[in-house]
Amino acid sequence: MKIKERAVIEFENIHKIEPFFIRYLTIISTLVLIILFIFFFGTKRLNEEYNTVNVWNKKTSSIEPPSHDDKFNIDGVFKHNFFVKPEGIVHYFDFNGDTIYSTNLSRGELATLNNKNFVIYKRYGNYIDAYNNTGVIIWRTNTSIYPEISPYAERIIYHSSDNSKIQMFDFNNNPLSRHIQYGEIITDGAFALHTGDYIAGFSSGDIAYINRNGNLSFAISTILSEINIVKSVAISEYGSFALAVSGIRPEYITLYDANGNTIWYLNTELNRRRHVSSYISEKSMTAFMLADKDIILYSMNKGKEINRINIEKYNMQNAINMKLNSETNSTIMSISKDAKSVVLIYDNNDKEVVFEKEIDGWVYNLDISNLENEYMIVTDKMIYTYKRVKL
């Protein structure tokens, strides 16, 4: 008698033993497609929900109220509230663009200023006068030096007439440091925005860091090259880090801490014989350098290249100047040449440019308000404010 073999898997029980992912394959596939759609298109879709609008603008030399968009207001506070043009004007204004104080400069007169005070001096003269931002004189002294004021801290650096020595003062004109000199001339200098710490680069290839108390934190030689010259220095907002671009054949970019210890250095593979624009931000932990065809972004942790923003698309290759503020989740930066500029807003998290504007003129200053979604652009001709708003 032939025994009929029983099927190992009975047809009616097939679905009971299917793996979970097979039983729900249709549902899982749909969910995966939705996730992929959000991943590839979500960022673009979210960006399209926002727009950057011009709130107000005015001429830098005008004391009249600005042109204003009635639908939007600047609600935050900008640190930057001033403009100066040699032999032109000193101009203070508030966040709405209304003039606080302005004064014309005579022929041969120059000025350096911050958000609270300014100093007027002569191109060829032997005195400097210090004022507050309402035009009240604070002090006057006879000297032939050239002053430089920290943008948002009450510190002044005096440059000798031949630009070979520097000395730090407070804004009561009290000396805080001794005279400092390394090499023949000072090739570049920069203030820490909020603290007044100062770094200077010299033609000898040396850099010197003066802290806010006037003490020399360090003075060291940069990495040796065939021609050892400092072409750019930068210091972070609170003075925790310093940067130098130095040397010809090869050119190096080097990051230091506030004690002069080298954190990292890189060969830029460029051999430029001119000033180089560079910035560092301890807020975004990013170093920025203007190259011939790109703005290069480096991680401040290990010097790894984060991104390159191509500037050829704006016809800005070989731009000669860059301005930058990177204190929030976004960075506002500008590049300039031939009296033309391009301003970019870069999202530090998404690592992409979210706003771009071409400007007729040189950009002098850039700022971000304390609300982080409002931006100021100060050029040699105009002052603009923008706001990033949800549509």
Per residue in 46-56, pLDDT (tens digit) is 445 779 999 99
Q: What is the pLDDT of residue 28?
A: 55
| Res 9 pLDDT > 70 | no
pLDDT value for 32: 52
Percent of the chain with pLDDT over 90: 83
Contact 224, 270 (CB under 8 A): no
Under the banding of pLDDT at 50, 70 and 90, the label for residue 35 is: low
Whole-number average pLDDT of the chain: 90
Give the Cα separation of 125 and 353 in Å (integer).
46
Position 390 scores a pLDDT of: 86
- Give the pLDDT confidence of 50-85 residue by residue, as tens digits: 799 999 999 999 999 999 998 999 999 999 999 999
pLDDT band at 144 (very low <50, low <70, confident <90, very high): confident
Q: What is the pLDDT of residues 266-315, one digit of tens each?
A: 999 998 999 999 999 999 999 999 999 999 999 999 999 999 999 999 99
Average pLDDT over residues 93-105: 96
